[in-house]
């Protein structure tokens, strides 16, 4: 949530710059690049971010274009923040090291058309795997079987 607050504060700062235009030739692409850098710095600084000034690269860019650029940058930054949050929250998939015999038993059980699972045989073959490890091993073998070559 702190990232969103920083983004909002930085965008407000960018929009405050709209009243500072001049009559020089506009270069919206250069302006956007400089504002993107300022926004990234403001987000990184968080609560300690200082209010920026209109960069010289934005001279001549009209207020409406500057507002559009600020909106685009805010959307991009918010998207990055969401992606980062999802990546950091997603558990890493891990494979469980299992014996060849355990792998073969799981594969045979998955390919077996009956509804019965011989858990006793599985315990004997797969050893002391916890329920979570067994579930992961089954998922790994399932993924191998369903993977397209």
CA pair distance 37, 35, nearest whole angstrom: 5
pLDDT string in tens for the chain (149-residue length): 455 555 655 555 555 555 454 556 889 999 999 999 988 888 888 888 888 788 899 999 999 999 999 899 989 988 888 888 777 776 555 677 889 999 999 999 888 888 777 777 888 888 888 888 888 888 889 988 888 66
Per-residue confidence (pLDDT) for residue 23, from 0 to 100: 54
The pair of structure tokens assigned to 74 is 């805010």
Rg, Å, the chain Cα set: 28
CA pair distance 125, 106, nearest whole angstrom: 10
Per-residue confidence (pLDDT) for residue 1, from 0 to 100: 47
Is there a contact between 60 and 23 (Cβ–Cβ < 8 Å)?
yes
Is there a contact between 105 and 141 (Cβ–Cβ < 8 Å)?
no
């Amino acid at each position: 949530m702190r990232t969103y607050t920083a983004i909002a504060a930085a965008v407000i700062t960018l929009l405050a710059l709209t009243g500072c235009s001049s009559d020089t030739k506009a270069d919206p692409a250069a302006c956007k690049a400089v504002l993107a850098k300022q926004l990234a710095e403001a987000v990184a600084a968080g609560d300690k971010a200082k209010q920026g000034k209109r960069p010289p690269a934005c001279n001549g860019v009209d207020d409406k274009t500057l507002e559009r650029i600020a909106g685009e940058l805010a959307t991009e930054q918010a998207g990055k923040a969401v992606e980062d949050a999802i990546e950091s929250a997603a558990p890493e998939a891990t494979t469980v090291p299992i014996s060849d015999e355990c792998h073969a038993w799981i594969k045979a059980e998955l390919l077996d058309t009956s509804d019965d699972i011989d858990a006793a045989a599985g315990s004997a073959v797969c050893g002391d795997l916890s329920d979570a490890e067994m579930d992961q091993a089954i998922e790994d073998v399932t993924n191998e079987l369903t993977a397209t070559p």
